[in-house]
Amino acid sequence: MKLKIFLFGLVSGWFWRVTPAVGQPATLSLSEAYALLESRYPDLQKAAVLEQVYANELTQLDIARRPMLFLKAEGRLQSESTHLDKGGAPTPFEIDQPLVFAKPYLEGRYLLYDGGRTEARKSVKKAQLAADLAETEVTRFSIRERINQLFTQIEVVREQSKLLDLSLENLAARKAQVVAAVEEGVRVEGDIIQMDIRILEWEARKKDLAAQMEALLQTLSYWTGRPISDPAQLVWPDLPAPDSIPPLRRPEQDWFGAQRRSVLAQSDLVEVQTRPTLAIFGQAGFGYPNPLNILDNNFSPYALAGVQFEWQIYDWKKKETDREWLTLKARQLDLAAATFDFNLESQKAQYLAEIHRLEAQIEEDQTLADLRKKLLDQVSAQLDEGVVTVSEYLDQATAELAARQQLTVHRANLRARQLAFWSLRGAFF
């Protein structure tokens, strides 16, 4: 019994630690959403694989420098061979080689000096790894825009739904007053019908917004791997004044630099291709006839060892051509990086103009919404006094709701535009 109580208390304590308090909706910040999506995105998982590939390639290069041992065999049948007899001459020996030749043997080789080729190849592999990892960071940056768009869409839908709730609440209160007036004979039954029609229209719009919200939250749940439902609180980052410009820090800049270093690393490999090499080698085996003794026609053991020196003293200017090609490739990357920065910097003026336009629109929307609210209050009072019709009241209520929704959309557009521009310049990377 004590054990059951202990286990129940342990599980209950864990449940209350991991379960949000009742009435407290879950929160998700933009940076948390970034991290969750990045942890699930398959293409970002290849960084560890790239590291393993790099380590494997270094191992292959080291293995290539180790002593090599081969088991070989040669055999041939020839149409003629060397033949020399005494023929009455004072020759102390005879040569009569067979037409068949066979030689099984072991051969070893060790490259003592490769002119720096292995180290140059390792440098190329390291530079290529850095370029591949930089490309992964570019992918990481690109998928964050999806989260930005989702956050903005969810905010717009949620705010529009709140405005509809408020308008429906006000309209329901007005309908109750109209129903009472109809019962007193002051209003006609058609006034109630008009209100019911408008209520149904707004409720249909609210259901449509609810469906949009569910689809957006399901998408966000899939991308983050976390169940998210309404009314989850989405936390935006603290942004400075909309007209401030962050410095340019895009991962593509690092990628261009890594690609350039990868190209230039190959120049070291080009440089060492014509350096001399020094190797030792050896053979040991059996041969018929003896491979080393022309006078021995028996199946005999043999062994030999030696040193091999190799140096390409002229390459028809291939090294100069390769270096020139690499220089041109590096220059090509420099121009691409400069073009990338140029295009991003050219968007500052357009961004500032759009920000100023949205700020002016928001100010106008706020003035218009306030005026619409005052007018709606007046029409509501006149509706109570029977001065205006229900149709006129509904027109003003719809116009006031549209003004508030437009204000909400423009505010969301301002934040979305600033967030997109700051993300474009890599401020959150």
Six-digit token pair at 104? 């099984």
pLDDT of residue 345: 94
pLDDT of residue 71: 96
pLDDT of residue 157: 92
15-34 per-residue burial string, b: 16 or more CB within 10 A, e: under 16: eeeeeeeeeeeeebebeebb
pLDDT of residue 36: 94
CB neighbour list of residue 51: distance below 8 Å, 6 or more residues apart = 129
Looking up tokens 């694989």 gives 49
Tell which residue, 398, 362, 405, has the closest CA to residue 158.
405
Count Cα neighbours of 115 within 13 Å in the Cβ-side half-sphere. Answer: 16
DSSP 83: E
CB neighbour list of residue 357: distance below 8 Å, 6 or more residues apart = none
pLDDT of residue 184: 84
Checking phi first, is residue 21 left (phi over 0); if not, alpha (psi -120 to 50) or beta? beta
DSSP 288: B
Q: From residue 139, give the alpha-carbon distance in Å to each of 36, 42, 250, 342, 384.
A: 15, 11, 11, 21, 61
pLDDT of residue 402: 93
Q: Where in the chain is the domain with CATH 2.20.200?
A: 68-113+277-310
Residues of the chain with pLDDT under 70: 1-25, 86-93, 429
**Could you read off the pLDDT of 212-241 as tens digits, one per residue?**
999 999 999 999 999 988 778 899 888 888
> Helix, strand, or coil here: 306?
strand
The pTM score is: 0.77
Cα of 90 vs its chain's centroid, Å: 87
pLDDT of residue 348: 93
Q: Are 424 and 344 in contact (CB under 8 A)?
A: yes
CB neighbour list of residue 146: distance below 8 Å, 6 or more residues apart = 37, 223
**Could you read off the pLDDT of 415-426 as tens digits, one per residue?**
889 988 998 998
- Give CA–CA dist 289/342, Å, rounded: 76
**Could you read off the pLDDT of 233-277 as tens digits, one per residue?**
899 888 888 888 999 999 999 999 999 999 999 998 999 999 999
- Give CA–CA dist 363/375, Å, rounded: 18
Instruction: Tell me how long the chain is.
Output: 429
For the domain made up of 68-113+277-310, the CATH class stated in words is: mainly beta
CA angle 217, 415, 351 (to 5 degrees): 130
pLDDT of residue 306: 96
